[in-house]
Amino acid sequence: MDIKIQQVETSKIESVDFSNLSFGQVFTDHMLVCSYTNGEWESPEIIPYGPMTFEPSARVFHYGQAVFEGMKAYKDDDGDIFLFRPDESIKRLNASSERLAMPALPEEIFHEGLKQLLHLDTEWIKKGFGNSLYLRPFVIATEPAISASPSNDYKFIIICSPAQSYYAGEVRVVVADKFSRAADGGVGYAKAAGNYASQFYPTSLAHKEGYQQIIWTDANTHEYMEEAGTMNIFFRIGDKLITAPTNDRILDGITRKSIIQLAKDNNIDIEVRNIKVSEIREAAEKGELKELFGSGTAAVVNPIKGFKHKDFTYELPELESTYASFFKEKLMNIQYNKSEDVHGWRVKV
């Protein structure tokens, strides 16, 4: 595939302090841009990262036709670059796009675009366990027209941001009993931009009470645990691990499905089923609730220290050995080419 590359004259990498990165604040020298117009995706281009111009009438600003992905590139000690299950990301991007009446992106543009971009900005992917390059592929509606209908023009863009091992600090969560993230028949399963905007306000209320995130419950009854803002959720009761099944309200996380597989591979008792809030509260009261953790590309596995539901609060016990750290290590060893990869999840680019 022919990708036109316009390189920066001087890299800004020297000005970046890689030992002190805030997540998602610094971007690499280049980005990939691919336009969709007249019913077709044009040839992608790699150009210097920087501001782009859009008409104020561009549809994305008015009706939110925007979807994204979150991935990481990793480097091993030999300097080879790897992605984790990129085939799942492009499938999900296209599933998200379909739900928002946006055109599917040819998989080849995604894979080849990533490859060329990563090789061009390879200096930005630092070696060392925990270092990575966070990748943000996204599609937006750019047609300058404000009638409420799908756009005829789109842009697919990939921007890249160097990241260190992500530590979110101590995370405590509120179990939702009023607001909802997603509804049956809605867009919850899509990585649609609007899903995140609608969480900011309820999450800011949780912040005021000293909680960092919300575990969303089903919109109809608020009786079932679903997922967090950008993470799927796992519960450990005794030695059993439980996570909710995906449905049209829940994002089908790649980390989540990898953990389910690893649990099976390692003879950890895993159940994928509906989880009642009352079941978790009872397990907590009986001292059987051992762990609660989120899963997602950014943090891999994020242990949760405590939760609140209505007037009930609970602090998780401190354990010597946790499923959370077990899965985090297993996944990172695969991602960084430090262990065997029996499922073929690691893809060298």
Ligand X SMILES: *Cc1c(COP(=O)(O)O)cnc(C)c1O
Residues near ligand X, by CB under 6 A: 70, 191, 227, 230-232, 251, 253-256, 295-297
- Compare residues 13 and 95 and give the one whose CB is closer to ligand X: 95
Nearest distance, CB of residue 189 and ligand X, angstroms: 9
As measured in angstroms, the least distance from the Cβ of 184 to ligand X is 16
Q: Which residue in 204, 202, 182, 201 sits closest to 192, CA to CA?
A: 182
Structure tokens at 302: 């994020």
Residue 294 CB, nearest approach to ligand X (Å): 8
CB of 250 to ligand X, least distance (A): 7
State the Cα–Cα distance between residues 126 and 115, nearest whole angstrom.
Answer: 16
Q: Which is closer to ligand X, CB of 211 or CB of 234?
A: 234
| Tokens, residue 74 | 């990793």
Closest to 345 in 3D by CA, of 38, 1, 6, 89? 89
Residues 245-275, buried b or exposed e (16+ Cβ, 10 A)? ebeebbbbbbbbbbbbebbeeeebebeeeeb
Q: Looking at beta carbons only, is 113 or 296 nearer to ligand X?
A: 296
Write the DSSP symbol of residue 305. -
Residue 312: how many CB atoms within 10 A of its CB? 13
SS3 content of the chain, % helix, strand, coil (to 5): 25, 30, 45
Exposure letters 49-76 (e unless 16+ CB within 10 A, then b): beeeeeeeebbbbebbbbbbbbbbbbbb
What is the residue-wise DSSP string for 23-82? TT----SEEEEEEEETTEE---EEEES------TTBTHHHH--EEE--EEEEE-TT--EE
Kindly tell me which of 30 and 256 has the beta carbon lying closer to ligand X: 256
Residue 214 parent element (H or E)? strand 213-217
Least distance in Å: CB of 255 to ligand X? 3
Name the minimum Å distance from CB 285 to ligand X. Answer: 28
- Nearer to ligand X by Cβ, of 131 and 213: the residue is 213
CB of 105 to ligand X, least distance (A): 17
In angstroms, the CA 203 to CA 310 distance is 15
What distance in Å separates the CA atoms of residue 41 and residue 324, rounded to the nearest whole number? Answer: 41
Q: Output the smallest distance, CB 249 to ligand X, in A.
A: 10
- Nearest distance from C-beta of residue 50 to ligand X, angstroms: 26
Query: Toward ligand X, which CB reaches closer, 113 or 229?
Result: 229
Task: Compare residues 137 and 296 and give the one whose CB is closer to ligand X.
Answer: 296
Between residues 36 and 307, which has the closer beta carbon with respect to ligand X?
307
For residues 81-108, b (16+ Cβ closer than 10 Å) or e, as one string?
bbbbbbebbbbbbbebbebbebbebbee
131 vs 295 by CB, closer to ligand X: 295
